[in-house]
Amino acid sequence: MSELFKGSCLCGVVKFSVTAFNPQVGNCHCSMCRKFHGAAFATLVSVSNLNWSSGQSLLKDFTAANGTIRTFCSQCGSSIGFRVKGASLGAMEVAIATFDADIPVKVDAQIYTDNKANWCELQKDITAFTQGRI
């Protein structure tokens, strides 16, 4: 049986689990991710077998003008994840900060660095892309 990695929102009403992670993990510096997460960047990872154990009915989406969808808990406002236009809830890239314990991932890229906040310094030991991964 696969190991389950569990996560939740700030208030704990939205709970989920996954069984695996994509090895590509990026810090996204685009202005939409910065605003959605209220931080210098968002760190997101694609996952396998995303399962909602509670609170799925409290998930709300914000669809940006470009069609990308950001999902959050309607009760506490926690940023849960991101998906591209037309992708299902199960195809969400999950914000790694929502996991309840350490997870086996390592950030390997900084993306959309042309949009980074002027007060944020890039990490010198992680590959930077001015837009998405090339």
**Could you read off the pLDDT of 78-111 as tens digits, one per residue?**
999 999 999 999 999 999 999 999 999 999 999 9
| pLDDT of 132 | 87
pLDDT band at 133 (very low <50, low <70, confident <90, very high): confident
Helix (H) or strand (E) holding 34: helix 31-37
| pLDDT of 124 | 95
> Mean pLDDT across the chain, nearest whole number?
94
Whole-prediction pTM value? 0.89
Asked if 109 contacts 133 with a C-beta cutoff of 8 angstroms, the reply is yes
| pLDDT of 1 | 58
Question: What tens digit of pLDDT does each residue of 63-86 get?
Answer: 999 999 999 999 999 999 999 999
The domains of the chain are located at: 5-128
| pLDDT of 108 | 95
Query: Considering only the top CATH level, what class is 5-128?
Result: mainly beta
Exposed e or buried b per residue across 21-42, where buried means at least 16 C-beta atoms within 10 angstroms of its C-beta: beeebbbbbbebbbebbebebb
